[in-house]
Structure 1
Amino acid sequence: MADTLQFGSWTQDVSCPLCRGLFADPVALECGHNFCCSCITGLWEREARNSCPECRREFPQRKLTVNRCLANLAERARRLRLEPGSRGAKPWCVEHQEAVKLFCETDLTLICYTCRESRAHRSHSFTPLNEAVETFKEQLGASLQSLTEKRQLFAETELKQIRHISEVKDQESSLQTHITAQFAKLHQILTEKGHCLLRELRGEEDSR
């Protein structure tokens, strides 16, 4: 039962929140949530809007980033025959009708002790099932941590760009105000100078 629970927990991390199956062509949205490409695009077509089903954030454009890390992990889970629908039963070798307790590192598949002695797996490398689970959990944890760090970096970069754009707009507004003020000042000087010249001309005419 413990092994079954471990497998179920592991596959939930590589399962699409929409179809509940292992990721197929997983893509990441701008908010960082992941879905099967066909699942999210199909949902957007049906709802006629681009939003994340997880956080409800809406996007002006459809920007999907292929998540190769999750695709690889989901493919490994498939090879291990760990589809979420089968987590209610212990891994079982259909060919030899006995419990699966080994992981073949060469073929990336679950096998029983009889399989290990067969010609198909002769000279292959094996790992106990629980150790294989822990190894993949560690790999998944490291991959998810890396994705989280990248998402945080993206958010920080986006925030910096927003601040930079805001600063540029403020500078533009300040420069425009300065130019307008200088133009008004220059216009006033020229107007006063013009009036002064007119007074001088009239004075000369009167003196004649």
Structure 2
Amino acid sequence: MSIGILIADDQALVRRGFRMILEIEPDLEVVGEAVDGADAVAKTRMLRPDIVLMDVRMPRVDGIEATQRIVADPATGGVRVLMLTTFDMDGYVYDALQAGASGFLLKDVVPEFLVSGIRSVYAGESLLAPSVTRRLISAFLEHAPVEASGDEALTARERETLLLLAQGLTNAEIAQRLFVSETTVKTHVGRVLAKLELRDRVQAVIYAYEHGLAGR
């Protein structure tokens, strides 16, 4: 089964470039293109892609607002959004992740990392570009008030899993840290998300920072 992708960018050459990279992969299919955020929302509803490659800066409706609309819509809430931009800035990263994006990459990413990133996000992993690290989120939240944590419902192992998620570790890396199988880690992650009512791993990272569970 191929992974359906919608490319949302106001520059035709950028869309064409991404399409050329993605369509040579046998498991990836570009199902459509959008020229701005409003178009991306409409095309997502119509085409139901698995992944939307979303530019941050676009006319009419920007990528962050478009992501919020897509995630909030029950009809498209299961679609994962991977943000793409030329701007490596704290606010963009935080706003994009808060909006519900599952990943954040810079447009100068090498094709191999873009392709592997799409597959990772499709598989449920979160994704941040190497230059867009957890320190950006931590720095952005440095002056934000810490909210009361609702993690009392978590078991000790689930809380440990949450803290490792906040460090940006993959399931495989968490499994190595906890000396358990990846299947067990997936179970723990699923329970953490369900108990805290979080959409995905990226939201778990933000939750940990906002509630003072991850070191600043």
Q: Common fold, TM-score beyond 0.5? A: no
Q: TM-score, normalised by structure 1?
A: 0.23
Structure with the bigger percentage of helix: 1
Q: Which of structures 1 and 2 has the bigger CA Rg?
A: 1
Q: TM-score, normalised by structure 2?
A: 0.22
